């Protein structure tokens, strides 16, 4: 007995797979053994189809018909064809993981948005190109497409570049183009999360599905179904399932998982019970004809590959299988909804260790990292890459050699700020450099921040940085104070001139020291911070090995051109930009004495120090620091200053 056999008379049972799964022979055998359909978790989203290099290098040729790349999709399509395994296509149109340059004149983010008509032409040709390639080369392999994904948010249509450039009817046009070019047998779906919430359910029914049904453009509703152990009440889920089904269209459960951070036997038993209750509802709904459920897809094969561990910032155990494709109790509870218990045999995976060996596709991950960023050319043969979070005109700019994906920048974007995170020149994915700027590195970095702001038509902004990123901030305050309305400085030093110019990073890389000093003190009775540190350590352990050209860079320490402490203090006293210093009392790098010295000299400074914290305070206490930053920024924007520390 297996999932695909048990549910074959009712609906397809699928799983999402990533490139890591695809590279593992055991995982792919497991997919074939248990499932009857699959979805590509990431590599068929818009940014993987839209060829950044080609479009940006020849925008005139591709102005109306963007150049497409199928290198990421083809390995999955080949697997589907070879094994005659149907696929769900995910996703043609999304606000996320769609490169911003797609919406701009000449594919240049410094040149303004294209017109509505031109954007619609680009959209049509993009959809036409993807569907034509798939249908001509792999006919019949993709049985359904998520045409649009997640267009509803906060009580209305989600604010995105699609609504800004095209308007709220962009999804209607996308479905029109998809219907025009899709093969007749291919089903077209709208896909979204939390589709059981009453306000969202009703909005999707009235503003999305019914208009599409009236035009004959949609075949089904995709309920993602990323659930929690205690939310939602499954009666709400059942009601939503019935209401979508009542429209006469198909319903597919497209991204199913149930987040559970507790791996104990008791908790896994509760997970099994919740899955059983959910599948009882789905099967009953199908059997009674209240909704035509045609597919249920789990969002990956195994617990250890679940996206939830990253998204929730804690180890998640949300699926039916784990480890070496071993079944959890939840697997049997799902089977019991359609098969008598005494007819269910034990699942015993027989994949060898060699088949289950994971091969990390390093080139793929480096390419994917680059695709996730925006690119901007600032000099001949020199590009800077940046990440963008949030919307609006309340800008925060930040520049560092690399960014932790769950730090202050991302959290401030959730609080309403428009955050631009610039990767410094010389560090991937920004262009590598061979020139040694000596004691001018931080001046060069600061100038790059201003250049990016100019290219993006940002006049004034808050600057925020931590550690060496704060070092960039000091040079911005000196060189371009007219552009910066406030400086949020986490563990900023500046270092003592007497300590020399070499950074801790370069001391490690050059072998002068074997390991860094302890950056953070031990944590007592604070499970939240312990979990965060564990997650941060896991994230760092997964980082790719730096390129030798990165290792060769010694950007030193900021403000080294001031040759003694007296001159450094004099310089600090001239900075008029309001500054918020955030630091840890047990930081061995940016020590409390160094930060207090800066706070005393700055004319407009507020300083907050936290006990039992060290150099990584910006990832230890994200919410606390962001709350202080938010208060500081609002005060500066209201009054133009902060009170000087006494």
Catalytically annotated residues = 150, 255
What does R_g of the chain's alpha carbons equal in angstroms? 27
**What is the C-alpha separation between 523 and 218, in angstroms, rounded?**
53
Q: How far lies 632's CA from each of 131, 374, 469, 629, in Å?
A: 50, 29, 19, 5
**What is the C-alpha separation between 302 and 17, in angstroms, rounded?**
10
Beta strands at 382-389 and 418-423: parallel, antiparallel or unpaired: antiparallel
**What is the C-alpha separation between 239 and 261, in angstroms, rounded?**
28
Torsion, Cα of 314, 536, 606, 504 (10° steps)? 170
- Which tokens is 153 given? 């948010």
Of 278, 163, 284, the closest CA to residue 223 belongs to: 278
User: What are the beta bridge partners of residue 553?
Assistant: none
Of 219, 137, 214, the closest CA to residue 186 belongs to: 219
Sort 222 into a burial class: Cβ within 10 Å, 0-12 / 13-18 / 19+.
buried
Residue with tokens 């009857």: 36
Of 97, 42, 56, 66, the closest CA to residue 388 belongs to: 97
Sort 131 into a burial class: Cβ within 10 Å, 0-12 / 13-18 / 19+.
buried
**What is the C-alpha separation between 493 and 146, in angstroms, rounded?**
50
User: What DSSP string describes 530-595?
Assistant: HHHHHHHHHHHHTSPPPPHHHHT-----TTTTS-SHHHHHHHHHH--S-EEEEEETT-SSS-HHHH
Give the containing element (helix H, strand E) for 411.
helix 408-414
Beta strands at 142-149 and 484-490: parallel, antiparallel or unpaired: unpaired
**What is the C-alpha separation between 398 and 473, in angstroms, rounded?**
8
Of 298, 212, 312, the closest CA to residue 261 belongs to: 312
301 within 8 A of 320, measured Cβ to Cβ:
no
386 within 8 A of 423, measured Cβ to Cβ:
yes
């Amino acid at each position: 007995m297996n999932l695909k056999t048990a549910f074959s008379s009712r609906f397809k049972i699928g799983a999402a797979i990533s490139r890591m799964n695809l590279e593992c022979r055991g995982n792919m055998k497991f997919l074939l053994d248990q499932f009857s359909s699959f979805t590509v978790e990431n590599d068929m989203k818009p940014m993987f189809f839209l060829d950044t290099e080609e479009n940006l290098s020849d925008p005139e040729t591709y102005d109306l018909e963007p150049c497409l790349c199928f290198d990421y999709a083809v390995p999955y399509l080949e697997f589907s064809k070879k094994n005659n395994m149907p696929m769900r296509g995910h996703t043609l149109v999304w606000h996320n993981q769609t490169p911003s340059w797609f919406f701009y004149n000449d594919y240049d983010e410094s040149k303004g948005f294209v017109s509505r008509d031109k954007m619609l032409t680009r959209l049509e040709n993009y959809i036409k190109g993807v569907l034509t390639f798939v249908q001509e080369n792999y006919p019949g392999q993709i049985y359904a497409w998520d045409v649009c994904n997640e267009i509803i948010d906060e009580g209305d249509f989600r604010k995105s570049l699609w609504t800004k450039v095209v308007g709220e009817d962009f999804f209607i046009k996308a479905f029109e183009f998809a219907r025009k070019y899709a093969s007749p047998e291919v089903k077209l779906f709208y896909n979204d999360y939390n589709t059981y919430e009453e306000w969202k359910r009703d909005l999707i029914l009235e503003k999305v599905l019914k208009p599409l049904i009236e035009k004959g453009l949609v075949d089904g509703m995709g309920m993602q179904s990323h659930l929690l152990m205690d939310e939602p009440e499954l009666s709400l889920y059942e009601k939503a399932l019935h209401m979508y089904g009542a429209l006469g269209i198909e319903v597919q459960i497209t991204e199913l998982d149930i987040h559970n951070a507790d791996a104990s036997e008791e908790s896994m038993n509760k997970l099994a019970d919740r899955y059983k209750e959910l599948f009882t509802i789905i099967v009953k709904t199908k059997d009674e004809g209240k909704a035509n459920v045609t597919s249920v897809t789990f969002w990956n094969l195994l617990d250890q590959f679940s996206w939830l561990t990253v998204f929730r910032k804690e180890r998640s155990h949300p699926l039916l299988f784990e480890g070496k494709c071993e079944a959890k109790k939840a697997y049997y509870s799902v089977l019991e909804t359609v098969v008598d218990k005494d007819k269910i045999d034990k699942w015993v995976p027989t994949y060898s260790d060699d088949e289950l060996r994971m091969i990390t596709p390093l080139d793929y991950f480096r390419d994917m990292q680059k695709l996730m960023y925006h690119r901007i050319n600032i000099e001949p043969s020199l590009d800077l890459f940046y990440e963008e979070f949030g919307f609006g005109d309340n800008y925060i700019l930040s520049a560092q050699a690399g960014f932790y994906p769950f730090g202050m920048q991302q959290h401030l974007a959730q609080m309403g700020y428009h955050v631009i995170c610039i990767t410094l020149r010389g560090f991937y994915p920004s262009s590598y450099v061979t020139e040694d700027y000596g004691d001018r590195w931080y001046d060069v970095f600061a100038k790059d921040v201003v250049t990016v702001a100019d290219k993006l038509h940002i006049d004034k902004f808050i600057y925020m940085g931590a550690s060496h990123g704060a070092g960039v901030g000091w040079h911005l305050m000196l060189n371009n104070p007219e552009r910066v309305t406030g400086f949020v400085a986490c563990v900023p030093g500046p270092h003592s001139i007497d300590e020399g110019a070499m950074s801790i990073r370069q001391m490690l890389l050059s072998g002068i020291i074997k390991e860094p000093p302890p950056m953070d003190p031990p944590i007592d009775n604070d499970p939240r911070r312990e979990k965060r540190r564990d997650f941060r350590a896991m994230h760092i352990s997964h980082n790719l090995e730096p390129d030798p050209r990165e290792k060769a860079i010694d950007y030193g320490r900021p403000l080294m051109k001031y040759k003694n402490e007296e001159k450094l203090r004099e310089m600090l006293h001239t900075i008029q930009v309001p500054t918020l210093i955030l630091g840890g009392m047990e930081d061995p790098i940016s020590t409390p004495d160094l930060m207090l010295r800066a706070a005393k000299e700055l004319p407009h400074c507020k300083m907050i120090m936290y006990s039992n914290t060290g150099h990584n305070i910006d990832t230890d206490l994200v919410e606390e620091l962001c709350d202080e930053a938010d208060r500081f920024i609002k005060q500066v924007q209201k009054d133009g200053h902060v009170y000087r520390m006494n």
